[in-house]
Amino acid sequence: MKTGRIIRSLSGYYDIQIEDGHIERTRARGEFRKSGQKPLVGDFVDFESENDEGLIWRIHPRENVLVRPPVANIDVAVIVTALKEPNFTPNLLDRQLVALEAANVRPLIYFTKSDLLTSTELMATKTVVDTYQQIGYTAILPTSVQDTVAFHMLQDVLKDKVSVFMGQTGAGKSTLLNHLSPQLGLETGVVSKALSRGKHTTRQVTLIQVDDALIADTPGFSSYEVFDFPIEDLDNYFPEFVKARYSCRFRGCFHLNEPGCAVKEAVSVGDIAQSRYNSYKAFYELIKSQKPKYSTDNRNY
């Protein structure tokens, strides 16, 4: 029996990388399908293999899992966030952060296109960055596309880690990935071309080795579109709310209209950013209006 990490999933096959770097192709045992389990890219698994034909026997407990894209055991999610073209919106960034907090994935915010800002806009942006850093998030603000200090900070965080990159169209995600590894785009293209030969092949996620990091090459990231958790859990995913809420007068305070709310008091004195509170209220209304659809996938580790 061998142990390794799934680095690619395609058409029912799983490519598993073992400790020495060798990759072996396997299938999953039928018992997984019967029990509703499915191996995911990023999973550590026990498997048997002979003559390039293998079977996965056991999936190790997961640290975390994202449903869209389907990938497990992520060390860090890089949120590539444009400041211009498209313009920065705190609501979208906060939505991504909440989704990652709910999935127990560590976020890193990497701002792009600061070179398009005026000096006044750049000063305002530094205040925004400081807000997220004070909450406890790692937030990197390059001063230009060629900012090597910021880029090396990112590389240091990714070293020996499994990461996913997310960001809206035009945020510069592809540019950043290709800067991390000029070969990344080429490797992605090779994988896509190889898979296109199969008539009914569906590509999911691939972990690509970039120096000492494994980066998930994902066809799309949409986990933050819908919040799959009860409304009572929302304030759990705002770290600064968690610190303040213990002083609320009422247990189970929703921080909206209740008297003696410590969160609202912290907003009024500037200890919690107004933009973050606005996002909280918007997400509260969003969850309240959407049909219940609570996924337990990211809680069964």
Which carries the bigger pLDDT value, residue 215 or residue 301?
215
pLDDT tens digits, residue range 67-99? 877 899 999 999 999 999 889 999 999 999 999
- Per the CB < 8 A criterion, the answer to whether 298 and 223 are in contact is no
Domains of the chain: 2-61 (2.40.50.140), 71-217 (3.40.50.300), 231-291 (1.10.40.50)
Which carries the bigger pLDDT value, residue 191 or residue 159?
159
Strand residue runs (E) in 156-249: 162-166, 203-210, 213-217
* Predicted pLDDT of residue 200: 38
Which carries the bigger pLDDT value, residue 157 or residue 204?
157
C-alpha distances in Å from residue 195, one per residue of 8, 36, 191, 206, 268: 11, 26, 6, 12, 55
* Predicted pLDDT of residue 196: 44
172 marked as part of a ligand binding site = yes
161 marked as part of a ligand binding site = no
Q: What is the mean pLDDT of residues 232-259?
A: 96
* Predicted pLDDT of residue 301: 34
183 marked as part of a ligand binding site = no
Per-residue burial over 135-162, b if 16 or more Cβ lie within 10 Å, else e, is bebbbbbbeeeeeeebbebbeebbeeeb
In the chain, what percentage of residues exceed pLDDT 70?
85
pLDDT tens digits, residue range 171-220? 888 888 888 876 665 454 444 555 444 433 345 678 988 888 999 876 55
- Per the CB < 8 A criterion, the answer to whether 184 and 131 are in contact is no
Token pair of 2 as six digits: 């061998």
Q: What is the mean pLDDT of residues 165-169?
A: 84
pLDDT tens digits, residue range 30-48? 888 788 889 999 999 999 9
260 marked as part of a ligand binding site = no
Strand residue runs (E) in the chain: 2-10, 13-17, 23-28, 44-50, 53-59, 65-66, 71-72, 76-82, 107-112, 138-140, 162-166, 203-210, 213-217
127 marked as part of a ligand binding site = no
296 marked as part of a ligand binding site = no
115 marked as part of a ligand binding site = yes
82 marked as part of a ligand binding site = no
* Predicted pLDDT of residue 146: 78
Element (H, E) at 126: helix 119-135
Residue showing tokens 């999610």:
77
In sequence order, the 6+-apart residues with CB closer than 8 A to the CB of 263 are 235, 241, 244, 245, 248, 253, 255, 272, 277
* Predicted pLDDT of residue 29: 87
- Per the CB < 8 A criterion, the answer to whether 27 and 71 are in contact is no
Cα–Cα distance for residue pair 98/234, rounded to 1 Å:
8
Nearest 10 degrees: Cα torsion 145, 149, 153, 154: 20
Q: Which amino acid is at 298?
A: N
159 marked as part of a ligand binding site = no
171 marked as part of a ligand binding site = yes
- Per the CB < 8 A criterion, the answer to whether 5 and 43 are in contact is yes
Which carries the bigger pLDDT value, residue 296 or residue 113?
113
Give me the count of residues in the chain: 301
Confidence tier at 292 by pLDDT (50, 70, 90): low
112 marked as part of a ligand binding site = yes
Residue 53 Rama label (left phi>0; alpha psi -120 to 50; beta): beta
pLDDT tens digits, residue range 249-277? 999 999 999 999 999 999 999 999 999 99
113 marked as part of a ligand binding site = yes
170 marked as part of a ligand binding site = yes
49 marked as part of a ligand binding site = no
173 marked as part of a ligand binding site = yes
Cα–Cα distance for residue pair 255/54, rounded to 1 Å:
53
pLDDT tens digits, residue range 125-138? 999 999 999 999 99
To the nearest whole number, what is the mean pLDDT of the chain? 86
pTM of the predicted structure, to 2 decimals:
0.86
Q: Tell whether the model's pLDDT for residue 112 goes beyond 70.
A: yes
